[in-house]
Amino acid sequence: MALYNRRKPSWSVVLSSYGNHRVLLSSSAAPAPIAPAPTTMPHLLVGKPAPSLSLPDANGETYSLSPGAKEVPTALFFYPESGTYGCTKEACQFRDALAEKELYKCTKVEIVGISKDSVEKQKAFVEKEKLTYPILSDANGEARKAYHVGKSLMGLTDARVTFFIDSKGVIRDVLDTTINYGAHAKFVTKWLDKVEAENRKTAKPAEEAEIPSAASASAGEPAEA
């Protein structure tokens, strides 16, 4: 039977029972204020030089990463765990992009993956998936600390985060999405396109400046007899 009060129309809540659950059917109380839409804050390292790292690779050898030293862009991706479904898909997408996409070849982008897994587990992962780029072991969490990469999914797992670093060693953008593992290679591809467009735009004025100089030099040469 519905509950109501004729003498107090301002009575605020009507409840109905379904088994052991009580369900709110209606309310005459003033609606709660609408919370503002969440905003995505940029990572605090965006626009800053990328930290250098030295970590063991899948062979147990020290791999030193100094973004910008080779004057090529770098895609540094942190992932939760080697061998899991999403992390395997992500790692293989980067592998395939390096082998198949001309953009990755011409930019000579450096791809590096990092997780907390041991060297032994990284070696098995690299060999099984035939990965062609460094996979590093961050067992002590040094790299995650340096790049401010934390936990995800309410602290249940390490976050999946990709940093795009330009050829000068500056972090241009960061993608932080643990569930959408397929977005990370696309994110890097988008940024490679963008920096290539920037490079072409920079190179064009320089080429145009050379043309008048060459024409002036030709005009100053004496004509042959």
Which residues are part of the catalytic machinery? Answer: 87
Contact predicate 158/78, CB 8 Å: yes
Strands of 13-160 (E only): list them: 13-18, 21-27, 53-56, 62-65, 74-78, 110-115, 135-137, 151-152, 157-158
Question: Residue 170 gets which letter from DSSP?
Answer: B
Residue carrying structure tokens 């985060």: 161
CA–chain centroid gap for 193, Å, is 15
